[in-house]
Structure formats: C-alpha cells, structure tokens
Amino acid sequence: MFKSHRRTYRKSRPSVPLLWILLAIPLALIFLELLARLLVNITGNGAKLAAYEGQPSIVTAYNLKFLNRSQQPYDALSDRGHLAAQRHVAVGYSLVGNQKSEFWRINEQGFRDDEPVPLEKPKNEIRIFLLGGSTAFGQRSLSNQATLANFLEARLNERIAQQRRSPEKYRPVPLPVYKPEREKALTLPPQLRDGQYRVINAAVPGYTSGNELAKLALQILPYNPDAILVLDGYADLMLPSDQWATDIPHEEAFLNNALDHLWTHTTGRLKQAIADTYLVKSIHYWIFPSQPSVSQLSLVVTDRTEPLEQHLATDANELERRVIRYRDRLGQMVRLTTGANIPLIVALQPEVTGRPSGTLSSRERTIVNELDPIYKQRVQAGYAELTQVMQNAQEAFPQNVKALNFYKLDENLRQGAFDDAIHLTEEGNKVLTERFYRAIADLQKLQVTPPKPPK
C-alpha cells in the first residue's frame, strides 16, 4: 500500500525593496503639492493662499518679530510676526520705530502713536504716558484708535470741552466767600487743568515691571510727563523669578551654545518650509483651520506651548520671589515719579477669571472652559499678593500714588470684554477707559488749584 505525497507549493510574492518605499513617500508628497498648487490656481485662490501664514492675519500682525543688529530676523527664532522689535541693552528690547500695518502704527520714537512725540512739550499740552505690556498696548485692536490710550485721550479732551461749554457745572475757582454758596460749590466736580490732553501709548507687548522701570527712567521721564499710568501684573506672575525682565527668547542660550543654536535654526527652517507648502496651507485653510490656543494668544513673548497654569508659580516660595521682584520694581518707579513730582497710577490688569460666570459671552466661556481649575487658583493667589503690594505703595505715598485693581473689571458688563485670558475687546477697553478717567480726574495735581491769597 502506497501513500501518496502531495507537495504544497506557495506562490512567493515579490518583495518590495525598502528603497522604493522611501522614494515613494517624497514623490507622493511632491505630487500632492503640485496637485494642490494646480487646484488653488484653477480656483483663483493662489494669492490668498500665498499670503496665508497659518493663523488669522490680525494675530500674525501683532506677533513680535525680533531683529538682530543687521535688522534681520534672528536665525533661530520664528519670524512669523509683523511687529518688529530689536534688542535694547537697557530695557531688554524695544519696538522698531516708523513701522505700520493695517492694524497698528508705531511712530519714530517706538510708541504706538500716529504722530511723533517731540521731546519738548508744547506749552498747552498735558502729557500722560501709559506703560505696560500687551494689554496696555492694545493687542489685536483693529487700529490705534481702538486702544485704551486713544479712548482715554478722547475722554479727557471731551471733559475739557464740557468745562468750557458749561463752566457752571464744575467747581468754581476761587470758591465763593459765603458758607452756603461755598458748600454748594464743593458738591460740584473739580475742574481739570485746561489744555490739550495727550495720552501716549508707550506700552510694549511682553513687558514686565523690570522692562517698564527701565523704560520709565531712561525714555519716558525726559518727555516731562504730567502723569504716568502703569497697567501690568499678569506677565510678572508668569515670568520665572530668576529673570529680571522679559528679554528676547533664547538669545543668551544661543550665544553660549552654538550647537543648540544650529539645531534650533535648522529644525526651525525645516518646519517653516513644510508650513509654507501649498499642501499644508490648503489643509489648514480649508479643512482644518488652525486657531492659536489661549496660551499662545495670552503670552506674546514665548515659544513655550504648554497650558497657562504651567507658567505660573507652582509653589509658595516661587510665588513669593516673583512678588518680591515686582514689589522692588514698583518701589523704584514710585521713588522716581515722587522725586519728579509726577502722579503715578498703577493698576492691576483685568483677567478673564475675574468675570462673573453669569455675564460671560460665548467667547469668554470658551476661554474659561479651556483653562484648568488650578490656573484660576494660582492666578487669584498671585493677584491677591500683587494687590497688597500696590496698596502698600499707595499707603506709603498717598499724595503721589494711586492703586487700582481691575481684576474683576466690571461685574455689570454684559458684553464680551476678553479676547483671551488678558487681552481686551473694544468694549473692554472702553470700560477700562472710564475707570482710568475717574482716577485721573481725582488727581489733585491735574486739577485747577485756587490761587494763593495775597500776602
């Protein structure tokens, strides 16, 4: 008996060389890129997509672009922004003068102003300088005219026009001699000094108290201001305690580490080249529009992308060091302005978690929902400490310093005030304007003083 044996033969599949696979990937990407360019040009969207930079144009316009001594973007830093800034030994960095976009204009002195500011103050001009970071600067405002500084200037000059039209509605100078008339006159608001009020926006995105102190001492005081406004606090809480002020990111590290600089430069250029392809742009523009996170919108001088709470102090000791740094900087600003007999109004800037939940707009609700609960706890703890520092400064120099806390902004405001965690909408800027206006109107040094009686 014989057993039959069958041999089973398997058809061998031809193996695809790994080299062909490696070659196929870039060829496929090149084909898709050419196809994307063809489709874009056929639809007539070539110019629009070529100008697209991966985010809304207003965001790109306000992003900082740091320039080196040759007025070229730093090799290892993103140059996606349009707001040019350059290194300044005294203040860290400053805005380049004489630049403009469709949203902002920077004058020759580096201030956000449509006109230059002469060093010698005109006889009839009353100058008020606004210092601070991106919130004071007016981040993502549609124009210079939609900023806090411009609104405040208009409000003050409106007050002067009212005084001229209806002097009877304001406290007369000198006061009436007889007691009943004097008491009635004292119930009227005091007159502000007559003249042309000019509020100059000297804020710079990313600035902390260290930058502001240096700018005040070296660049602002020579302009002979009649009052100084400072709107800050948030960036100081975000800045690690081992840094004296905000500076150009990674500059010192790159100077001390050539290999790290080269690697960052190379990878950055590669990422930028990929992002500039029509294929990637088409995907982001039509299919998956990219929106910056709350962290990227709120912090304007950092390439760190982690959530906001990770930028805040994680323990009490680190928070204390950051607060002490702020206290020291504010103390120096107080001494400078007091010595120069210039009123100083220092305000803790608004922040979105200070808004009551029942008054939040849909945009604000989205922002708050993106924030981790620990963020609100850390912000509130930091703001409480800074508030105490400001109050102490006011108590120590009551004749020259006025402290304001704008954390809650306006609990009755029913319209959206925030565009991200700290930057304000036009409505938010108008609310802040009125708060600052009332504080300025209460400054005795800007009020009409009665003449001294003859000796």
Q: Name the class of domain 108-249+295-446.
A: alpha beta
Instruction: Note the maximum CA span of the chain.
Output: 147
pLDDT higher for 180 or 410? 180
pLDDT tens, position by position, 163-197: 999 999 999 999 999 999 999 999 999 999 999 99
Residue 275 has what pLDDT? Answer: 59
pLDDT at position 444 over 80: yes
Tell me which amino acid residue 32 is.
L
E strands present in 283-397? 344-348
Question: 409: phi > 0 → left, psi -120 to 50 → alpha, else beta; which?
Answer: left
pLDDT at position 3 over 70: no
Residue 261 has what pLDDT? Answer: 47
SS3 (DSSP) at 230: strand
Residue 266 has what pLDDT? Answer: 56
Length of the chain: 455
pLDDT tens, position by position, 207-258: 999 999 999 999 999 999 999 999 999 999 999 999 999 998 865 555 555 5
Residue 2 has what pLDDT? Answer: 47
Residue ranges covered by each domain of the chain? 108-249+295-446
Report whether 436 contacts 229 (CB < 8 A): yes
Residue 70 is encoded by which pair of tokens?
Answer: 């040759």
What is the spatial distance between Cα 208 and Cα 211, in angstroms, rounded to a whole number?
Answer: 5
Q: Where are the alpha helices (DSSP H) in 56-178?
A: 57-62, 134-137, 148-165
Query: Among 35-39, 344-348, 364-368, 383-387, where is mean pLDDT lowest?
Result: 35-39
What is the spatial distance between Cα 206 and Cα 249, in angstroms, rounded to a whole number?
Answer: 11
